[in-house]
């Protein structure tokens, strides 16, 4: 199994480090040809407007969409989830328009712009998942085929899956708990 991490801007090195810890062959992706042969791709958090612009400059946009249509699994975290979304509000960059969710950028109030909390994520098991939110987006609405994976205590949706697409508002690569990455890898392996 080979996993790529989009390395335009943002927290790509942290994702690669988690994957290496899990003994996965993981490579940074900047060129269209580096997407060939990948079973899965992670689009990291960072600044979605910047990543969007670089995806265009590096000519990655169409190739990622093609590979997704061929069954490559994609996991978008934070800005990466914004880039997967079909619909958005609050000053939206051009996205890949793959996942049937409506996302609001920078959606948490000022004093809660960045925060950490323990989440119940049933697909990851009983133990709560410690999640780090940094100027995070939230998911306003989900389409019919989208499974909600996690919500905040107030009902705000912050993680979802649509087939081979996975999105999370927070940064699972910034803690020691690799269960979200393992969940993604199980989707890639066809086990979920
Ligand atoms: N606020 C960023 C954006 O809208 C996302 C922040 C992040 O990825 N941590 O693109």
The tens digit of pLDDT for each residue in 153-180 reads 999 999 999 999 999 999 999 999 999 9
Identify the domain containing residue 65 by its residue range. Answer: 2-188
Band of pLDDT at residue 89, cut at 50, 70 and 90: confident
| CATH value at residue 130 | 3.40.50.880
CA of 97 to the centre of ligand 1 (A): 17
Check if the beta carbon of residue 98 is closer than 8 Å to that of residue 74: yes
Indicate the burial class of 6 (C-beta count within 10 angstroms; 0-12, 13-18, 19 or more). buried
Pairing between β-strand 165-168 and β-strand 73-77 as defined by DSSP bridges: parallel
Give the chain's domain count.
1
Q: Report whether residue 53 contacts ligand 1, using a CB cutoff of 6 Å.
A: no
Ligand 1 nearest-atom number relative to CA 48: 10
Check if the beta carbon of residue 105 is closer than 8 Å to that of residue 90: yes
Which residues are part of the catalytic machinery?
A: 78, 171, 173
Q: Kindly state the helix (H) or strand (E) to which residue 159 belongs, with its residue range.
A: strand 157-162
Residue for token pair 């910047």: 50
């Amino acid at each position: 199994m080979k996993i790529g991490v989009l390395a335009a801007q943002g927290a790509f090195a942290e994702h690669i480090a988690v994957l290496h810890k899990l003994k996965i062959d993981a490579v940074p992706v900047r060129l269209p040809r580096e997407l060939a042969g990948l079973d899965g791709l992670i689009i990291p958090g960072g600044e979605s407007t910047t990543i969007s612009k670089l995806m265009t400059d590096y000519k990655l946009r169409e190739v990622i969409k093609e590979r997704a249509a061929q069954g490559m699994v994609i996991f978008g975290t934070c800005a990466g989830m914004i880039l997967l979304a079909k619909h958005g509000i609050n000053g939206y960059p051009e996205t890949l328009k793959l996942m049937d969710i409506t996302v609001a950028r920078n959606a948490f109030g000022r004093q809660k712009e960045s925060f950490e909390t323990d989440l119940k994520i049933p697909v990851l098991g009983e133990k709560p998942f410690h999640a780090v939110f940094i100027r995070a987006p939230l998911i306003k609405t989900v389409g019919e085929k989208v499974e909600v994976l996690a919500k905040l205590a107030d009902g705000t949706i912050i993680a979802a899956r649509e087939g081979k697409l996975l999105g999370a508002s927070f940064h699972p690569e910034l803690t020691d708990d690799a269960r979200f990455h393992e969940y993604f890898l199980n989707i890639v392996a066809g086990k979920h």
